[in-house]
Amino acid sequence: MAPNSGLVVQTEQLSKIFRVGFWGKRVTAVDGVSLEVRPGEVFGFLGPNGAGKTTTLKILMGLIYPTSGRARLFGRDLGDPQTKARLGFLPESPYFYDYLTSREFLAFYGHLFGLGGSVLGKRIDELLELVGMTHAKDLQLRKFSKGMLQRVGVAQALINDPELVVLDEPMSGLDPIGRKEVRDLILRLKESGKTVLFSSHILHDAEVLCDRVAMILKGRLVACGRVTDLLEQGASHPVELVVDRLSPEGLDHLRPLTDKVVMQGDRMLVVLKSQQQVGGALEIIRAAKASLVSLTPQKGSLEDLFIREVEEHRSPTEKRA
């Protein structure tokens, strides 16, 4: 793999096999994952629970060693202390030193980056302000709610003003308001020119936030690209028509273009396979002198794509079940 210093994250055929249990049974957690994250983008790493998202992120953070394949951050191999100084990491459902207060907690992490004195004090105040925790700065972390822990967790990830921010399931376990705040924060990070890589199994969040996404299933990458491209590709976008008083002959003409027809007295709901069929359908409706009540294009979502991928990747035995 040619090191590309223009990329923030670059992995090639990254794999991790864990040995579990007494007999060391081999379990493949990550299987040949190759992906790239470019500077300044928000990249979503999506997949169901247990798909290998966290394992991949842990490899990138130097917590786990890959079995094979390579990964680089900022064009440098993993484990280079210089790269660690340029990233911030928030683990999934983080636990912290709960006997520390917010200030002590952030000061401790600041010291690990060699920060100190008034510079660090100022930075801590800014961060507590940013995550809305100024009121709890002298409270011990063991008295915090999950949402509050997540916030100081974010502050901890930003203490060194990192270029790359990696968040593992930042929205999980938060209430709707908390999730919105995390979303806003990610957008603010993007505005200030940072690269954000986050994992999630909540696809709606990803659709709203991400420039590009990668989908992982059973350790394998099944889709990767711009959100808009992924939504276009392969997915046929159905269009729903509601028509009044369509003659039986007209309906016969319409049938080949449709997936589904639902009759309700004089009114019928016709689902067209894709937008290409709209012109033809309208011709038929006009010729049959029926009236069109509504025409609604159905927007594809990452969720549709995701469910389709899950179906495709099921093993035959699972399908039978």
Partner 1 sequence: MKILSIGLNTFRENLRDKLLYNLLIFALLMISSSVILSRLTLGEFHRLILDLGLGSINFFGVLIAIFVGIGLVSKEIEKKTIYTIVSKPVARYQFLLGKYVGLTITLFVNTVVMALGLLVVLYAQDVPVEGMLFKALTLIFVEFMVITAVALLFSTFTSATLSAIFTLALYVIGHLTADLKTFGAKMDDLSRGILDGIYYLLPNLERFNLKGHVVHHLEVSGADLMLIVAYGATYTAVLLFTASLIFHRRDFR
Q: Which residues contact partner 1 (rule: CB under 8 A)? A: 18, 55, 58, 61-65, 81-82, 84-85, 87, 89-91, 94-97, 99-100, 104, 108-109, 111-114, 153, 156-157, 160
Q: What's the rounded Cα separation, in Å, for the pair 56 and 314?
A: 22
CB 184 to partner 1: min, Å? 23
CB 168 to partner 1: min, Å? 9
The residue (of 218 and 223) whose beta carbon lies closer to partner 1 is 218
The residue (of 167 and 305) whose beta carbon lies closer to partner 1 is 167
Q: Are residues 46 and 201 in contact, defined by beta-carbon separation less than 8 angstroms?
A: yes
The DSSP code sequence of 7-25 is -SEEEEEEEEEEEETTTTE
The residue (of 90 and 217) whose beta carbon lies closer to partner 1 is 90
The residue (of 189 and 241) whose beta carbon lies closer to partner 1 is 189
- The partner residues of 214 in beta bridges, in order of sequence, read 45, 224
CB 108 to partner 1: min, Å? 5
Q: Which two tokens stand for residue 189?
A: 């990070």
Tell me the one-letter amino acid at 175.
Answer: D
Cβ-based neighbours of 105, under 8 Å, separated by 6 or more: 96, 97, 141, 152, 156
The residue (of 58 and 284) whose beta carbon lies closer to partner 1 is 58
Nearest in space to 166 (alpha carbons), one of 204, 122, 199: 199
Nearest in space to 146 (alpha carbons), one of 166, 170, 112, 118: 170
Q: What is the dihedral of CA 171, 174, 178, 180, to 10 degrees?
A: 40
CB 62 to partner 1: min, Å? 6
CB 243 to partner 1: min, Å? 57
Place of tokens 């957690």: 29
- The partner residues of 223 in beta bridges, in order of sequence, read 215
The residue (of 99 and 244) whose beta carbon lies closer to partner 1 is 99
CB 44 to partner 1: min, Å? 20
Tell me the one-letter amino acid at 21.
Answer: G
The residue (of 60 and 239) whose beta carbon lies closer to partner 1 is 60
- The partner residues of 20 in beta bridges, in order of sequence, read 25
The residue (of 108 and 253) whose beta carbon lies closer to partner 1 is 108
Q: Exposed, middle or buried, 130 (CB in 10 Å: 0-12/13-18/19+)? A: middle
Nearest in space to 150 (alpha carbons), one of 69, 90, 192: 90
CB 99 to partner 1: min, Å? 4
Q: Sheet containing 258-264: give its strands across.
A: 258-264, 267-272, 239-244, 291-297
CB 61 to partner 1: min, Å? 4
